[in-house]
Chain A
């Protein structure tokens, strides 16, 4: 029997497979297809203090081996999530969940976390300082070390739950931001968010997305995400959740060898709603094939000495 358990800042999960925020809603649509309690956990739709409709449509376009989205953090707001979505979720998902939180000011991040902190359903906070689709915020906090540190400190001050900061790949040196978060007290990091991209409609000769640019995700970004995880693992001592283009059990193992303690599955859930389930089912077989007894043992295994 292989051991797929991993531990995120004291929270042990059955396996490292976690559907990523924005690709899994609150889990309900997927729970109608399979028992989502097989998941390690999942990261729910990015939540802000107030309700947001998000960007105008079209918000989605297709690419070779991936997709671009500019949803723009549509969500019903922190209070609604606490009072409605989380109790409802408890009916079909018995494990603790990851709360993905976004904001437009340091205070807003803290206030949102403070509201959600009341829920025992939440095992960990994933603080999104890297959304490429909202103006005056989101990514702005993830591209400057001092801003990333300020958000980290403010959030840490209002919760005792582990705080993971979700980093943007759209930066010159991600290790600098990673270290700033670690120094500010982050319990872990989660990376990468989507890469800024765009497409142009040849018939209309205008950008496909109403927002012009959006976040590129999907299989195409896997090698890039892997490289970021590898670099960040060397730069910090706190655990890393790796994500970006993960679509198979082999990808999960590769991410963990690069340094990830757990792995999020994103866009693949949208094309194949059973993707996370299939990855979890394939994981023990892949471990046997590559002679891995315990996933805990391979974290960062690709690094020298």
Chain B
């Protein structure tokens, strides 16, 4: 973890409530896909945690959904600098993926899978991606995943795009060596019920500090008490207590 002042390069709407922010600054503290950053927002006390969508040496891409005051303020920024704690959380462990990993993202849980997908493909893995949204207008990043070389499926709850239903409706018919997922807890639970292999699931929780000091986001696992911000947000399927 370190504190970095980033310069805002762009902040554009992908859907009516999802935004893509590109920041310029040091990213050396980010060591794994699925980690997050914690952003200080003018006028708010606690920082707001946002998962890392993608990064290279000097730029950071965040995709976030407007869900409250913090993300709303963030979405209105057009320029300036942001005080950010970077490189937070454990992130996904790529070494367990096998040759045909499956990535499943639901809504605001899609972004952290992007960098993961990129890395797995760079390692020569055959990656399949399932993206789940509520409706056609909410779909984003389908083509971006496809451009990386992944096989992409989309499900919408109302059937207005792709397969009608949930990500699990597509997942049940696929074969894969391992799975990685991020999304609403209901979706994670449904995936755990039908998954045929081991996997890693990324969780969300209201956080205080975001770096393991306040015990605000603790959860019980089969491997002992964990802090979602520091020991997570990624947990292994085998350790989760639902």
> Which residues of A are in contact with B by a Cβ distance under 8 Å?
22-25, 29-30, 32-33, 45, 53-54, 57-67, 69, 71, 74, 208, 218-219, 267, 269-274
Contacts and interface: CB of A to CB of B under 8 A. Distances in A.
Given A25-B212, A273-B3, A57 B45 contact: no
A66 B45 contact: yes
Contacts of A60: 46, 206-208, 214, 216-217
Interface in B209-225: 209, 211-220, 225
Say what secondary structure dominates the interface of chain B: loop
A33 B219 CA distance: 25
Contact of A69 (B1, B205, B216, B219): B216
Contact of B46 (A29, A74, A271, A273): A271
A176 to B, nearest CB: 31
A270 B70 CA distance: 17
B206 A61 contact: yes
A67 B208 contact: yes
A89 B173 CA distance: 51
A29 B205 contact: no
- For the complex of A and B, 7 pairs with smallest distance between CB atoms: A60-B216, A270-B209, A58-B206, A62-B46, A60-B208, A74-B215, A25-B213
B50 to A, nearest CB: 15
Contacts of A269: 209, 213
Interface string B1-32: 11100000000000000000000000000000
A87 to B, nearest CB: 19
Interface of B: 1-3, 40, 44-47, 70, 85, 205-209, 211-220, 225, 230
Contacts of A69: 208, 214, 216
A219 B43 CA distance: 12
Given A45-B215, A53-B225, A67-B45, 14 more contacts: A25-B213, A25-B214, A30-B213, A57-B217, A62-B70, A64-B45, A69-B216, A71-B214, A74-B225, A270-B208, A271-B45, A273-B3, A273-B213, A274-B3
Contacts of B1: 29, 32-33, 273
A57 B219 CA distance: 8
A67 B218 contact: no
Nearest to B209: A270
A22 B218 contact: no
B213 A54 contact: no
- Kindly name the residue among B44, B85, B215 whose own CB sees the greatest number of chain A CB atoms within 10 A: B215
B225 A33 contact: no
A85 to B, nearest CB: 14
B206 A218 contact: no
Contacts of B3: 273-274
Contacts of A53: 218, 220, 225
Contacts of B44: 62
5 contacts: A23-B213, A30-B213, A67-B208, A270-B214, A271-B209
A60 B46 CA distance: 10
